[in-house]
Amino acid sequence: MIGNLKHRVTFQKSVRTPDGGGGFTEIWQSIDSNPIVYAAIMPLSGGEQLRFHQLEAMVTHRIVIRYRSDVISAMRIVRGTTIYDITAVTDRNGQGVYLEILATVKIP
């Protein structure tokens, strides 16, 4: 498995900042501790759906990294210009060695 962890990815979290008009603006920033890790990325499935009268393509991926306790589904993963929205995070085999992450990518 270690040989498959060849993609450098960055974990980001959503941060809300006041916009000065009583509302908030959502920005994404790298997490505080060790945001860049190596990962194995495998596409699983793809599909299209109609949203707001626009055809949207989506691809689901399985991403595996070494175990860490600070990754949650509210985060996203960035690799180059590709943004992976995390949908689920599980401890692979329940042994605290690897995390398996399911994520989707929207294709324009």
Q: What 3-state DSSP class applies to 95?
A: coil
Q: What is the mean pLDDT of the segment spanning 52-63?
A: 82
Domain coordinates in residue numbering, the chain: 2-107
Fold topology of 2-107: Thrombin, subunit H (2.40.10)
- Retrieve residue 8's tokens: 């450098």
Q: Tens digits of per-residue pLDDT, 13-50?
A: 999 988 888 899 999 999 988 889 999 999 998 776 66
Specify the pTM.
0.82
In the structure, what pLDDT confidence band is assigned to residue 106 with cuts at 50, 70 and 90?
Answer: confident
66, 72, 76, 80 alpha-carbon torsion, rounded to 10°? -10
Residue 66 has pLDDT above 90, yes or no: yes
